Amino acid sequence: MDRINQSSVTEFLLLGLSKRPEQQPLLFGIFMGMYLVTVVGNLLIILAIGFDSHLHTPMYFFLANLSFADACFSSTTVPKMLVNIQTHSHTIPYEGCLAQMHFFMTFGALDDFLLGVMAYDRYVAICRPLHYSKLMSPLVCVVLLAACWVLTNLAALLHTLLMARLSFCAGNSIHHFFCDVVPLLQLSCSDTSTNQVALFTVGSMILTGPLSLIILSYAYIISTILGVSSAPGRQKAFSTCGSHLTIVFLFYGTAIGVYLFPPSSHSGVKDRIAAVFYTVVTPMLNPFIYSLRNNDMKTALSKIFGIHTFSSQRI
């Protein structure tokens, strides 16, 4: 289909988080720091899991993939925003905007599914330990990971193709710091009803499906933990579960507010703030949540840096 017939817009303007020039250096410094922490933290987790044979288990296999998804997730949005701030140019080509949206949705949805799979893995390990080796065999893990990749890519491709059908003749200024589905739909002068239905339907499956699995898995896990006779053991388990669930609800809560609420409820400022949490904050916090509270990860990281002060006790 001829590109010219689809839209008179050849590029978009990403207006970012603030229009005030005096705030740009502060925003650049904050997001540059958060991005570096995100990338370095997640890469360290991947390296630690790869080099420590003790971590070659299903739990850490999925954690390594989650770290990869988190690093890529932030990399689809933050570097472009930093370049725009530094160069004082807010343009992004039409094709680049669709590409950014596609990869953003791919890695965002991959995060969703991996969090659900990791919760299921913990359920099997804690609640059905005798069947763990069978239910989470290497073949099962590979199949689960492949399913996550296939489903996320199909969902992202659907939204990208639907978006490419729309015309953008009402303006090209996106009140956001990256190309996302909701602000792009608000700019279109075409009928977006099909896109809205797809966004709600696919978004419901991607967000509420894994979230339901996480809640159900942790409900069984907490029930099992309550049966542990050791008070310190219960306290340690609840502390770990609590930190994991805090990140989960922060991620899902902000994402659901943006993608599943009706268009009339959307506010540019609120959507941008929510996007900062699920695109920047949670990928940055995940390495701390999954490593600083885990002696296995501490030991593996200490080997990378040649440090012997971490406890080698396995949990």
Question: Token pair of 22, please?
Answer: 């005096």
Answer whether 111's CB lies under 8 Å from 69's CB: yes
Helix pair 282-291, 24-51: axis angle to 10 deg? 40
Distances (CA, A) of 229 to 150, 218, 225: 42, 19, 9
The length of the chain in residues reads 315
**Could you state, in chain order, the average pLDDT of each consecutive group of 10 residues for the chain (315 residues)?**
54 86 90 95 91 87 94 94 89 93 94 92 89 93 96 95 86 87 87 90 89 90 76 63 77 83 68 87 86 73 65 42
User: Which single residue is written with the structure tokens 């492949």?
Assistant: 146
Whole-angstrom distance, CA of residue 281 vs CA of residue 158:
27
Question: Token pair of 162, please?
Answer: 């639907």
Answer whether 179's CB lies under 8 Å from 157's CB: no
Question: Token pair of 88, please?
Answer: 């004082």
Helices (H), the chain: 3-6, 24-51, 58-75, 78-87, 94-127, 132-135, 138-164, 181-187, 193-226, 231-259, 268-276, 282-291, 295-305
CB count within 10 Å of CB 150 equals: 10
Question: Token pair of 34, please?
Answer: 């958060």
Query: Dihedral, CA atoms, 127, 132, 137, 140, nearest 10 degrees?
Result: -20
Question: Token pair of 193, please?
Answer: 């009803």
Name which of 120, 124, 150, 146 is nearest 216 in CA terms.
120
What is the model's pLDDT at position 4? 42
What is the model's pLDDT at position 248? 84
Distances (CA, A) of 304 to 66, 284, 315: 20, 20, 19
What is the model's pLDDT at position 35? 95
Whole-angstrom distance, CA of residue 8 vs CA of residue 170:
9
What is the model's pLDDT at position 314? 42
Name the DSSP class of 153.
Answer: H
Answer whether 179's CB lies under 8 Å from 102's CB: no
Whole-angstrom distance, CA of residue 293 vs CA of residue 250:
19
Question: Token pair of 201, please?
Answer: 């339907």
How much is the pTM?
0.87
Whole-angstrom distance, CA of residue 100 vs CA of residue 74:
11
Query: What letter represents residue 265's amino acid?
Result: S
What is the model's pLDDT at position 311? 43
Angle at 199 between CA 194 and CA 202, to 5 degrees: 110
